[in-house]
Chains A and B, each alone.
Chain A
Amino acid sequence: MGRKLITTGNDLVSMAALEAGCNFFAGYPITPSSDIMHNMSVELPKFDGHFIQMEDEIGSVCAAIGASMSGAKAMTGSSGPGISLKSEQIGYSFITEVPLVIVNVMRGGPSTGLPTHVSQADVGQAKYPTHGDYASISLCPGSLEECYSMTIEAFNLAEKYMTPVFLLLDETVGHMQSEVELPDLEDVKKMVINREVYTGDKDTYEPYNAPMDKPAVLNPFFKGYKYHVTGLHHGHKGFPTEDPVQSQYNIDRLTGKVNNNRGDIVKYAEYMLDDADICIIAYGSISRSAKSAIAKLREKGIKAGMFRPITLWPSPDKQLQEIGKKFKHIFVTELNMGQYLEEVQRCTKRDDIGTLHRANGKPIPPLEIVAKVEEML
């Protein structure tokens, strides 16, 4: 049957979070993501959840991590400057393997930058938001439907891989208002994944003694399963260690549990690529301009199609390698100065990629893409 409603991207993120079972949100207001926090403050108490506006961004990510350790499905939301402030504790979430969904509605940067204007300039930050070695997961919706479905997916991936997951919206997608059709709630509930729980002997419980490429199994606190949590490198029971073998194992597992499960994690969309000579690579709101540009290019007899990474990190590296071999022309367009272009160049090993990049807070209209593509032919 489906559900139809008229709403915005930001509103869909909060709706999907609640329907995925999110029961804790901590945040600090910041443009252009505040709508999400506002909605959660209104809705969470109705679902027996908890909302707290903390004293700052650092406090809010700490509160969300703490809630998640207790078994809550926790979320925090912000925009670029707030993510920068949260970055140290995001590292804590990586090493302790505490699941968390972090929404970043991207605005122009660096620093406070362009608070109310669209940008995709936090794509690089999402890959490496904090110091140290780890592999991050970032999802980037390009439509209202995906604002909903990728929020559900972000919670599922966070719980399945016990890791922070970024949901990267750009301001255009966040504030776009139109009609959307969503799956029925009963169908959504069937898709929801919850973290694994250890049910064996309490005395032999070792939460971090996980096979390579698998996450830790952290039982919620206060249920009688004792272990230690620290930002320091730790052994199987969670207590600090400097043992080089253990430290290397920790990092191999943190990176491996994401990078070696790309087949399960990575999502992408292809549009009119079957007969295309030109592959346009775009994501988020710019993929909408690209799609519209493709129709105009095809009217002129230019066979263009689009590859749209939905999971920006880990990148769809195999698919990008194939694109590098298959297409005569590759064109990358994004609202930053080439942050994903670097990944496309790395995977395709091509140095002849056409580009259209912008970082002035303005969207890229379809006709500008058409003109740039024509220029490269």
Chain B
Amino acid sequence: MRRELRFTGAGGQGVLTAGAILAQAKINDGGFSIKASTYSSQVRGGPTKVDILLDESEILFPYAIDGQIEFMLSTAQQSFNMYKSELAPNAIIVVDSHLVEVSDEDRAKYTVYDVPIIYTAKNVVGNVVTQSVVALAITVELTKVLSNEVVYETMVNSVPPKSVEVNKKAYDVGVEIAKKLLAK
């Protein structure tokens, strides 16, 4: 079954990297994936999104379909506002609680989790650049689109060798956060 996830943020936050790892992990798992990134005149600092399409068979239409996106991660208010319109009813939304405010109307429509992602990367993991891996782990644990093992292994092989250890820690922290959210 085709599954569609959307990562959004500000250019430079690592949104595209997290998406690329997830897409690669699906291929490593024997499936098919397409990464459809924002292609706009604004990238660095501007609103960025990447749609990750995952399927067991060949993906023909290489874009997310309006109303079928089951999950959205957002780490910037502007991109949250811009890109939420195509979500499925009852989609899961994870926002950075320090950076994105979600209206009561949206909270009624969607399952919204507020997580201080960037704060966690900086102060719990110890390196702000791990925010994309924290977010990736939260995504996988909440949606179960893939097993943590395959994504973890793909991540380890994708990040620069120097930052493997800190990213492993970031992944574990992300999984723990998601488990607590699900237990609530």
Note whether A and B form a binding pair: yes
Report the count of interface residues on A (CB-CB < 8 A).
21
The reply to whether A292 and B61 contact each other, CB–CB distance below 8 Å, is yes
The reply to whether A365 and B32 contact each other, CB–CB distance below 8 Å, is no
**B62 interface residue (CB < 8 Å to A):** yes
Bound complex: CA of A172 vs CA of B61, how far in Å? 10
**B166 interface residue (CB < 8 Å to A):** no
Residue of B nearest to A291 (CB): B60
**A366 interface residue (CB < 8 Å to B):** yes
The reply to whether A177 and B60 contact each other, CB–CB distance below 8 Å, is no
| Chain B residues positioned under 8 Å from A291 (CB to CB) | 60
Bound complex: CA of A285 vs CA of B61, how far in Å? 8
For A83-123 the 0/1 string (1 means CB < 8 A from B) is 00000000000000000000000000000000110000000
The reply to whether A177 and B35 contact each other, CB–CB distance below 8 Å, is yes
A6-B60 contact given A115-B41, A116-B39, A177-B35, CB 8 Å threshold: no
The reply to whether A116 and B60 contact each other, CB–CB distance below 8 Å, is no
For A272-297 the 0/1 string (1 means CB < 8 A from B) is 00000000000001001101100000
Q: Closest approach, in angstroms, between the C-beta of B105 and any C-beta of chain A?
A: 27
Bound complex: CA of A20 vs CA of B27, how far in Å? 28
**B40 interface residue (CB < 8 Å to A):** yes
Q: Which of A31, A32, A363, A367 contacts B63 (CB 8 A)?
A: A363
Q: Closest approach, in angstroms, between the C-beta of B90 and any C-beta of chain A?
A: 20
Bound complex: CA of A288 vs CA of B63, how far in Å? 11
| Chain B residues positioned under 8 Å from A365 (CB to CB) | 61, 63, 65-66
Bound complex: CA of A115 vs CA of B40, how far in Å? 9
**B118 interface residue (CB < 8 Å to A):** no
A176-B24 contact given A32-B39, A116-B41, CB 8 Å threshold: no
Bound complex: CA of A291 vs CA of B65, how far in Å? 16
The reply to whether A178 and B34 contact each other, CB–CB distance below 8 Å, is yes
Bound complex: CA of A115 vs CA of B42, how far in Å? 12
| Chain B residues positioned under 8 Å from A6 (CB to CB) | 23-24, 27
| Chain B residues positioned under 8 Å from A179 (CB to CB) | 27, 32-33
Q: Closest approach, in angstroms, between the C-beta of A287 and any C-beta of chain B?
A: 9
For A1-38 the 0/1 string (1 means CB < 8 A from B) is 00000100000000000000000000000011000000
| Chain B residues positioned under 8 Å from A178 (CB to CB) | 23, 27, 32-35, 59, 62
The reply to whether B62 and A292 contact each other, CB–CB distance below 8 Å, is no
Bound complex: CA of A289 vs CA of B36, how far in Å? 15
Report the count of interface residues on B (CB-CB < 8 A).
19
**A171 interface residue (CB < 8 Å to B):** yes
| Chain A residues positioned under 8 Å from B34 (CB to CB) | 176-178
The reply to whether B39 and A175 contact each other, CB–CB distance below 8 Å, is yes
The reply to whether A171 and B66 contact each other, CB–CB distance below 8 Å, is no
For A331-345 the 0/1 string (1 means CB < 8 A from B) is 000000000000000
Q: Closest approach, in angstroms, between the C-beta of A367 and any C-beta of chain B?
A: 8
| Chain A residues positioned under 8 Å from B63 (CB to CB) | 172, 363, 365
Bound complex: CA of A177 vs CA of B59, how far in Å? 11
Bound complex: CA of A32 vs CA of B41, how far in Å? 10
Bound complex: CA of A363 vs CA of B60, how far in Å? 12
Q: Closest approach, in angstroms, between the C-beta of B40 and any C-beta of chain A?
A: 5
Bound complex: CA of A363 vs CA of B59, how far in Å? 15
For A344-368 the 0/1 string (1 means CB < 8 A from B) is 0000000000000000000101110
A292-B24 contact given A116-B41, A177-B35, A365-B66, CB 8 Å threshold: no
The reply to whether B61 and A177 contact each other, CB–CB distance below 8 Å, is no
| Chain B residues positioned under 8 Å from A32 (CB to CB) | 39
Residue of B nearest to A364 (CB): B61
Q: Using CB atoms and an 8 Å cutoff, list the residues of chain B in contact with chain A.
A: 23-24, 27, 32-37, 39-41, 59-63, 65-66
**Could you list some 30 contacts between A and B, CB below 8 A?**
A6-B23, A6-B27, A116-B41, A172-B62, A172-B63, A175-B39, A176-B62, A177-B34, A177-B36, A177-B37, A178-B23, A178-B33, A178-B34, A178-B35, A178-B59, A179-B27, A179-B32, A285-B62, A288-B60, A288-B61, A288-B62, A289-B60, A289-B61, A363-B61, A363-B63, A365-B61, A365-B63, A365-B65, A365-B66, A366-B60
With A179-B27, A292-B61 known, 18 other A-B pairs at CB within 8 A are A6-B24, A6-B27, A116-B40, A116-B41, A172-B63, A175-B39, A176-B34, A176-B36, A177-B34, A177-B37, A178-B32, A178-B33, A178-B34, A179-B33, A288-B61, A289-B61, A292-B60, A363-B63
Which 10 A-B pairs rank lowest in CB-CB distance, beginning with the nearest? Answer: A292-B60, A288-B60, A178-B34, A177-B35, A176-B62, A179-B27, A116-B39, A291-B60, A289-B61, A292-B61
